[in-house]
């Protein structure tokens, strides 16, 4: 599907960028083997695409790195690959605030905008991945007065319906007013009875797919396999290359607040992992131990913070 998503984006046409251009860094002066046993030396080649293919999955790299003996892993350069994967994630999207206002009615309004730099949907590929918008509002003393999308150390996210009840999931939001409303960019699979499933072979449809669209992706003409599903379809600012989410927080009587927002990637959503953990199987139990011990369950893609000062009504 990343290919079909890419094909429907402007990276396939006007903003031409191939899979290789993003996924295979270039280098100069590489001597290639000519495959024969002769002593002939080939000319060094410039603009050579390194076969490196880093993606977004820091979690599995971290698990391999920390359990080499148990898993029979021989490679020893995980630290380098983890760093490159983090850099790939940091290149995936940017986060900014496009509007902010704290009125004399004690309502704090702000709008966050996610701009995709990814050549397909973000998060891409296997549906266990999710990207969450974590937002915290702090008062002058640094105390948190509002938080949506807080991530626990076990990988679960406060307020995300799927993490407390595997039959449910968070809808796509255009406006967020409460801490239990969390913007999660994800694909939720449905089985033949339109019930949530985390088993790939039972997946027949998507009940939700609001993954962030690549530049130029027209959701109204998207092929069925990569269509947008759920209220993101009718969200006017959920478009090719970006999404904006507005926050309206009531009852803030102070004069100064700081908003901190981050976009976080999880290769294996807690709900997905938790579904797997229900299997009575030794390998699943081993994986659970490794998953719980990993500090790479969540990785930051982008971060923004800004302060808001109360204005008189005439300034609104
Ligand atoms: C404009 C840059 C760009 C282009 C073009 C691009 N990608 Fe990606 N790709 C990314 C970024 C950034 C990520 C990490 C974020 C994510 O998982 O979506 C990624 C992740 C992936 C992943 C997921 C890896 C993982 O660990 O989950 C796959 C698979 C993938 N790309 C395949 C492709 C294919 C196939 C193409 C061409 C059809 C392609 N990409 C084109 C930037 C790009």
Token pair listed for 163 = 């993490």
Query: What is the Cα–Cα distance from 207 to 184, expressed in whole angstroms?
Result: 14
CA torsion sign for 197, 210, 173, 138 is: positive
Contact 206, 187 (CB under 8 A): yes
Residue partners of 16: CB distance under 8 A and separation at least 6 = none
Residues within a 6 A CB radius of ligand 1: 2-3, 6, 11, 17, 19, 22-23, 55-57, 88-89, 91-92, 118-120, 122-125, 129
Token pair listed for 176 = 């967020």
Centroid of ligand 1 to alpha carbon of 23 (angstroms): 7
Query: What is the Cα–Cα distance from 225 to 2, expressed in whole angstroms?
Result: 11
Count of beta carbons in the 10 Å neighbourhood of residue 25: 15
Instruction: Name residue, tokens 């019930």.
Output: 195
Atom of ligand 1 nearest to the CA of 122: 18
Token pair listed for 164 = 């407390």
Q: What is the pLDDT along the chain (316 residues), one digit of tens a residue?
A: 999 999 999 999 999 999 999 999 899 998 877 666 666 677 888 999 988 888 899 999 999 999 999 999 999 899 999 999 999 999 999 999 998 999 889 999 999 999 999 999 999 889 999 999 999 999 999 999 999 999 999 999 999 999 999 999 999 999 999 999 999 999 999 999 999 999 999 999 999 999 999 999 999 999 999 999 999 999 999 999 999 999 999 999 999 999 999 999 999 999 999 999 999 999 999 999 999 999 999 999 999 999 999 876 555 4
Atom of ligand 1 nearest to the CA of 7: 38
């Amino acid at each position: 599907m990343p290919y079909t998503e890419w094909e429907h984006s402007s990276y396939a046409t006007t903003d031409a960028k191939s899979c290789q251009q993003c996924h295979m860094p270039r280098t100069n002066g590489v001597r290639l083997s000519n495959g024969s046993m002769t002593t002939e030396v080939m000319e060094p080649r410039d603009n050579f695409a390194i076969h490196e293919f880093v993606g977004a999955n820091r979690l599995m790299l971290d698990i391999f790195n920390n359990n080499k003996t148990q898993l029979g892993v021989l490679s020893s350069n995980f630290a380098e690959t983890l760093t490159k994967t983090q850099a790939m994630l940091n290149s995936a999207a940017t986060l900014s605030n496009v509007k902010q206002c704290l009125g004399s009615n004690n309502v704090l309004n702000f709008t966050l905008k996610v701009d995709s730099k990814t050549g397909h949907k973000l998060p891409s590929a296997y549906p266990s991945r999710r990207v969450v918008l974590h937002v915290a509002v702090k008062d002058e003393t640094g105390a948190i007065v509002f938080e949506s999308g807080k991530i626990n150390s076990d990988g679960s996210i406060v307020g995300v319906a799927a993490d407390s009840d595997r039959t449910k999931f968070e809808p796509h939001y255009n406006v967020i007013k409460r801490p239990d409303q969390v913007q999660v960019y994800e694909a939720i699979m449905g089985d033949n009875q339109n019930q949530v499933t985390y088993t790939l072979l039972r997946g027949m449809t998507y009940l939700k797919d609001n993954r962030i669209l690549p530049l130029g992706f027209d959701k109204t003409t998207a092929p069925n396999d990569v269509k947008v599903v759920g209220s993101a379809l009718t969200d006017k600012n959920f478009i090719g290359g970006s999404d904006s989410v507005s926050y309206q927080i009531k009852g803030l009587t102070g004069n100064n607040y700081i908003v901190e927002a981050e976009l976080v990637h999880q290769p294996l959503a807690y709900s997905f992992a938790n579904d797997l953990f229900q299997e009575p199987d030794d390998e699943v139990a081993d994986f659970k131990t490794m998953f719980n011990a990993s500090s790479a369950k969540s990785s930051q893609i982008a971060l923004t913070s800004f302060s808001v000062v109360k204005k008189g009504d005439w300034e609104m």
